[in-house]
Amino acid sequence: MVIRKTFQLENFSRNDRGIVKEIGDKENKMISKTFFFGAIASAVFLAGCGGSRADRSVLQNKGSDTLVNVAQAWAEAYKDKNSKLAIAVSGGGSGTGISSLINGTVDLANSSRKMKDREIEQARKNGGEPVEHVVGFDALAVYVHKDNPIESLTFEQLASIYGKDGKVVSWDQLGVSIPGAKSGKIIRVSRQNNSGTYTHFKKTVLGKGGEYKLGSLDMHGSKDVVDLVMKTPGAIGYSGLAYLTDEVKLVPIRKSAGQPAVMPSVSTAVDGSYPIARPLLMYTRGKPEGAVKEYLDWILSDEGQSIISKKGYAPIRKIQN
């Protein structure tokens, strides 16, 4: 278990909503410059926590950018349930969270993809048996600019846009003309390869052995994908449904040309009719115990599941109001 008694000022800061987040090397150096500053900051920090150093613990939660917003919302809401436990939430991608779990530096790893066999084996060699917990579901949506008239896309068309051997490079090839995109060139927006979203899209859409085409714009976070598509008439990108705004358009997806086009939504993610639906996961090292188990049980409760629902994801079951 990685829960640490007391807050270490050099490693954590509390934002204006009370959520503990990791801070970087630059901030570490600034804090360590003077003992006086450190003492004042520590006093203020502890006052904000409402307790002493000795009676508080930190639970480390890291990983998927798809899940980071809801993870922060869970952490904030849980303060009212257990005032002696702080949840340190950070993103960085599913791969980052899983690597931290393997190394034993987090209690909960958020992931939008399943752990790979080699990752599970590595975790076991490091003395930790990964245990998977489904905490919700997401429809991995395909986004285009709001002025794009495209009505639907098939897996084959998506693979031809994103795949290594794909021949589709312009909207003209798909019979589409976009205002503001004079060249008609398709601007592919993707995620970095440590992202679970990147991995799930590759596995599901490009198929076994499929590889991405070079030249895409690879973004650090889920929100960054949607923001770039919003600003770029010829762009297409994929990201979690929770990042939908009025400034972009969702594209209904067909698994094959003969099948109906399905719009990504909470309901189509739950019933599995949307072909790029996926589970949202948290991993623990071994069977969760103590404070980690209590926190996970609360996340899976109606109260915790109502939070993930409000964030635009599908809960694991029907919530009792």
- Angle of the 117-125 helix axis to the 94-103 helix axis, nearest 10: 20
155 & 111 share domain: no
**pTM (two decimals):** 0.76
Whether 316 is covered by a domain: the verdict is no
The conformation of residue 59, written as its DSSP 8-state character, comes to E
The answer as to whether 142 is a domain residue is yes
Does one domain contain both 273 and 285? no
Q: 158 with 113, same domain?
A: no
Domains in the chain: how many in total? 2
How do the pLDDT tens digits run along the chain, 321 residues long? 564 443 333 343 444 334 444 434 443 333 333 333 333 333 333 333 333 444 669 999 999 999 999 999 999 999 999 999 999 999 999 999 999 999 999 999 999 999 999 999 999 999 999 999 999 999 999 999 999 999 999 999 999 999 999 999 999 999 999 988 888 999 999 999 999 999 999 999 999 889 999 999 999 999 999 999 999 999 999 999 999 999 999 999 999 999 999 999 999 998 889 999 999 999 999 999 999 999 999 999 999 999 999 998 999 988 876
User: What domain range is 52 assigned to?
Assistant: 4-136+281-310
Euclidean distance between CA atoms 9 and 22, whole angstroms: 10
CATH of the domain at 269: 3.40.190.10
Q: What is the tens place of the pLDDT at every residue in 128-137?
A: 999 999 999 9
In a domain, 315, yes or no: no
Q: Is 320 contained in some domain? A: no
If asked whether residues 122 and 153 sit together in one domain, one would say no
Interval 136-165: pLDDT, tens = 999 999 999 999 999 999 999 999 999 999
Cα(103)–Cα(122) distance, rounded to whole angstroms? Answer: 9
| Alpha carbons 296 and 288: distance in angstroms, whole number | 8
Tell me the one-letter amino acid at 48: G
pLDDT at 270: 86
- CA 199, 61, 99 angle in degrees (round to 5)? 45
**Residues 88 and 120 occupy one common structural domain:** yes
- For the chain, how are helix, strand and coil distributed in percent, rounded to 5? 35, 25, 40
- Cα separation, 137 vs 272, in Å, equals 10
Strands 187-191 and 130-145: unpaired
HEC per residue, 99-162: HHHHHCCCCEEEECCCCCHHHHHHHHHCCCCEEEEEEEEEEEEEEEECCCCCCCEEHHHHHHHH
48, two tokens:
């904000």
